[in-house]
Structure 1
Amino acid sequence: MNRRLYPGRDYRRAQSIDELRELARRRLPNFSFEYVEGGSDDEFTLARNRAIFQSITLQPRTLRNVGTRDLRRDVFGKPSALPFMVGPTGFNGLLTAGGDLRLAEAAARAGIPFVLSNASTSSIEEIAAIDGIRAWMQIYLYRTRDHVAKLVERVRRLELEAIVVTVDSAIFGNREWDRRNYVRPLQLDLRNKLDVALHPEWVWDVLVPNGVPRFANLGDLLPPGKDSVKGAASALAAELDPSLNWDDIAWLRDIWKGKLIVKGMIHPADAEIALGYGVDGVVLSNHGGRQLDGSVSAMETLAEVARLARGRMSVFLDGGFRRGSDIVKALLLGADAVLLGRAALYGLAAGKGPGASHAIEILRSEVDRTLGLLGCSSLDELSPELIHAPAWRAAAQAVAGHAPHGAGEAGSNLDGRRMPIDAFS
């Protein structure tokens, strides 16, 4: 028999994130799935984010006692049950009713942090009220700074742990495949309208009885009656500020004394500057391949940033994570934790809240299995010797302090600002 992914609709039978992706594709109308799935321009960066993991080969140890394994990881001095968290993703109300709330509940059940998107359709207050939640808030530095200041005050009042400010979206990326679904901004063409009608389960879940989902945290930024996902597009586009710079980070640092994380940088020099502005962490990211096409993957600059940041700030990243082994590879290169984007959304779209929990469980089991197969009983036992690819192992050694920066085997490029292209081509 020919191999094929599970063709049904029961998310519980999905064996992998890729299988959840296929279930999500079948359940969602095309325009909604395309919003989740697509990248910018020719989608080279989107593909690169996945391809990079194939180049990082592993070299396991054997005959070690791995009968019990510990997947816990401290994040900002507090225990997290797993070395990954649910990152910020917008418009989740278009995947299922209360999408952000369902994702946050899944994160709380798993004992991991959840980052609420500024463009969420659930309010900060709803998320903060979830029992056991460890919630962070993602924001954009819009032109209307009074709105940002009020949002920060809401976060402070609710005693959320951290603010994650996204800095790579001051100019929208060119998402052609997403735009092709519309005859004009957010007005679906006839083909996609018919496709929506062919997805009655989604219609009854998302559009009935409350209509198009509405943004829950942007009320004072939007014109009256323009807080729906459809109506807010032009207003939000006008609020993006291409003049965004480090002075704006200083302003935010001044009004927010909690944990501050800058998301969306990918150059080590920017991470080094961030240290001078007193940030507590960075998220290396190319926005899931949705902004600059041709950008390097966060994995390519991770080791250099982790070496610079060691002991001074936390280093997180996102982009292309679909397997537990991907997450372990990031930890080997110095990441404190990984942020999930599409991987969690596929579960949410395939099976609502329980589907999101299933996605987290798939990755938990894969991290656990990878750790054991490498011969480690805890994340603390991960070491550069477990990486076989010479250039990547040399990078990991520099992070761990096992070799001087710039040293390593032939093919390494530790004096540069990223891993060489020939390391994975």
Structure 2
Amino acid sequence: MGKTYNVTPVTPDDYRRLAERRLPRFLFDYIDGGANAEITLAANTTGFRDIVLRQRVMRDVSNIDTSTVLSGEQASLPVILAPVGMAGMMARRGETQAVRAANAMGVPFTLSTVGICDLTEVKNAASKPFWFQLYMMRDRGVVQDLLARAEAAGCTTLAFTVDLAVTGMRHRDLRNGALSQSLRAKAVKAWEIGRHPHWLLDVAVKGKPHGFGNLSDRVPDPTRLEAFTAWVASQFDTSVTWKDIEWLRGVWKGRLLIKGVLEVDDARAAVAAGADGVIVSNHGGRQLDGVASSISKLPGVVTAIGDRAEVYMDGGVRSGVDVFKAVALGAKGVMIGRPWVWALAADGQKGVSGMLAIMRQELRAAMALSGVNRIDEIDRDAIDAATPFA
């Protein structure tokens, strides 16, 4: 079979191949890689393959509607662009291109604390409210400042990430010297950049500044990655408990989702601490390698808290059929990370828009062939009994 992705990208994997060609290796691996042996990274996608659907026929499916409500807001489909650090290094001012694509499609965009573009720049690019993702810092003054800026930018939902007590062992980043300032690492990265002239001109030259926008006033020399990682090591709070969520709930008045929950007990604790919902997630397989796939943990969390809180999930979603499967297992919506960043690296805003349009088409087809017209009609009746964790 020929390389059809050179003509028309159809799947996230097509966009992935294009991204691999266009990005310097250390940036591609930062997005593409996972922790350690990448067992959980692989499990996230294979988990969806284990789900068996039930085909239903002779039903009136002439009025397919993929719209839904996500965290109190209308959305054209149950998909959210997940927070991804350094997305602005994958395309020129990447977060602004992504938020425009999300707004055009009518789905939420989530800005990472460690994005390249700051809250104000994204607000100016956006035509609709967007979400913000937060890590807890030792200096609560930094947290309060970020939240005040998020509120001023019109952010409606806060996704608070709880699965980054320490950074996972990401072997690809270590091998390619992404965080190293040794002469050898600098030489290899310079060689890689030189091999990718399109990225060099479009992002490295025309995409400045390259600092971590939301933290640029806090980090000494925010354009140097090693300075940023040192600051993060000193600021990310490893002593955070559920009591800190109660404090956060008192500061943030918008909707609050706890991101990084896999276990039922943690989901219950999140709701007890005041969260409006949880995002079942293993950080895209980038943290603790060997934990279960997000999709396999979703049904248990839905059973435990789904009657009083919203449950979302991320990790391994690669198609509109995967979106359908997650919703059938109880997810209010899904977050996608790598797919939109691959599409962004491949073709900027146009790439993200194209990827989302394909997912919508796939979701519509899955709904029609399963005999449902609306998102709220999708339930576990769509899942075959052969599915191991349904």
Normalised to the residue count of structure 1, the TM-score between the two structures is 0.87
Shift of 1:157: 2.4
Which residue does the alignment assign to 1:338?
334
Are 2:306 and 1:310 equivalent residues in the alignment? yes
- Aligned match for 1:47, one of 33, 36, 42: 42
Are 2:27 and 1:5 equivalent residues in the alignment? no
Which residue does the alignment assign to 2:204?
207
Higher relative contact order (CA 8 A, sep 6+): 2
Which residue does the alignment assign to 1:37?
32
Looking at structure 2, the residues matched to 59 and 7 of structure 1 have their Cα atoms a distance apart, in angstroms, of 30
Which residue does the alignment assign to 2:286?
290
Counterpart amino acid of 1:388?
Answer: D
| Residues 85-164 of structure 1 mapped to structure 2, 5 A cutoff | 85-164=80-159
| Residues 242-391 of structure 1 mapped to structure 2, 5 A cutoff | 242-390=238-386
Partner-residue secondary structure (3-state), 1:217: helix
Deviates more, 1:242-251 or 1:331-340: 242-251
Partner-residue secondary structure (3-state), 1:261: strand
Contact 1:91 / 1:229 at 8 angstroms: preserved in 2?
A: no
Shift of 1:183: 8.0
Counterpart amino acid of 1:5?
Answer: K
Looking at structure 2, the residues matched to 28 and 42 of structure 1 have their Cα atoms a distance apart, in angstroms, of 23
Calculate the aligned-residue CA RMSD, in Å.
1.8
The gaps in structure 1 that reach 5 residues or longer are: 396-425
Contact 2:162 / 2:259 at 8 angstroms: preserved in 1?
A: yes
Shift of 1:212: 6.3
Deviates more, 1:305-314 or 1:98-107: 305-314
Counterpart amino acid of 1:17?
Answer: P
Count of aligned positions: 388
Looking at structure 1, the residues matched to 128 and 76 of structure 2 have their Cα atoms a distance apart, in angstroms, of 13
Looking at structure 2, the residues matched to 209 and 383 of structure 1 have their Cα atoms a distance apart, in angstroms, of 47
Looking at structure 1, the residues matched to 222 and 59 of structure 2 have their Cα atoms a distance apart, in angstroms, of 60
Looking at structure 2, the residues matched to 72 and 245 of structure 1 have their Cα atoms a distance apart, in angstroms, of 36
% identical aligned pairs: 35
CA 1:184–1:109 in structure 2 vs 1: closer, same or farther (change >3 Å)? closer
Looking at structure 2, the residues matched to 26 and 242 of structure 1 have their Cα atoms a distance apart, in angstroms, of 37
**What do the CA deviations read for 1:33-53 (whole angstroms, capped 9, x no partner)?**
000000011000001001111
- Aligned match for 1:194, one of 191, 194, 197: 191
Contact 2:56 / 2:371 at 8 angstroms: preserved in 1?
A: yes
Looking at structure 1, the residues matched to 189 and 125 of structure 2 have their Cα atoms a distance apart, in angstroms, of 36
Which residue does the alignment assign to 1:181?
176
Q: Which has the larger radius of gyration?
A: 1
**What do the CA deviations read for 1:36-91 (whole angstroms, capped 9, x no partner)?**
00001100000100111111111111011112310011123332111111010010
Looking at structure 1, the residues matched to 174 and 368 of structure 2 have their Cα atoms a distance apart, in angstroms, of 44
Partner-residue secondary structure (3-state), 1:61: coil
Partner-residue secondary structure (3-state), 2:259: strand
The gaps in structure 2 that reach 5 residues or longer are: none
CA 1:210–1:386 in structure 2 vs 1: closer, same or farther (change >3 Å)? closer
Partner-residue secondary structure (3-state), 1:165: strand
| Residues 18-33 of structure 1 mapped to structure 2, 5 A cutoff | 18-33=13-28
Looking at structure 2, the residues matched to 328 and 7 of structure 1 have their Cα atoms a distance apart, in angstroms, of 24
Which residue does the alignment assign to 1:400?
none
Shift of 1:243: 1.2
